[in-house]
Amino acid sequence: MKTAKHTDIIVDEAVKELIKRERQDFRLCTACSGPALVPVFVKPPKDSDIKIPVGDYFLYISEVQASYVDRVSMDMLYDPQRLFSCPALNEFR
């Protein structure tokens, strides 16, 4: 996996706090409604992902999304109630 330079993509403090509070890795991937910030058990990382350290955990950013986003914010957090309604995220339903 590619490790992004800290200045390549900005990760909002609220996203960093979420990752640390949840004590798990997250991934920014593509969903039906656009970029989706999800735990890695929903959409596992790929070798082509950018890997950003956040405390003891990582934020993985899909290569596709990395070419479109320059900032990861809480508005990208996917709604758990709609999580599996998107075919791109329903493999663990």
* Residue 28 belongs to some domain of the structure: yes
User: The CATH number of the domain where 47 resides is what?
Assistant: 2.60.300.12
Residue 29: name the closest of 93, 75, 79, 77 by CA: 77
Total domains present in the chain: 1
* Residue 90 belongs to some domain of the structure: no
* Residue 88 belongs to some domain of the structure: no
* Residue 87 belongs to some domain of the structure: no
pLDDT in single tens digits along all 93 residues of the chain: 555 544 479 999 999 999 999 999 999 998 887 899 999 998 999 999 999 999 999 999 999 999 899 999 999 998 776 666 676 665 544
* Residue 84 belongs to some domain of the structure: no
* Residue 10 belongs to some domain of the structure: yes
* Residue 30 belongs to some domain of the structure: yes
- Name the pairing type of β-strands 71-72 and 57-61: unpaired
pLDDT given at position 2 = 54
Contact 52, 61 (CB under 8 A): yes
- Provide the residue range defining the domain that includes 72: 2-78
- Name the pairing type of β-strands 71-72 and 26-31: unpaired
pLDDT given at position 84 = 62
Contact 28, 75 (CB under 8 A): no
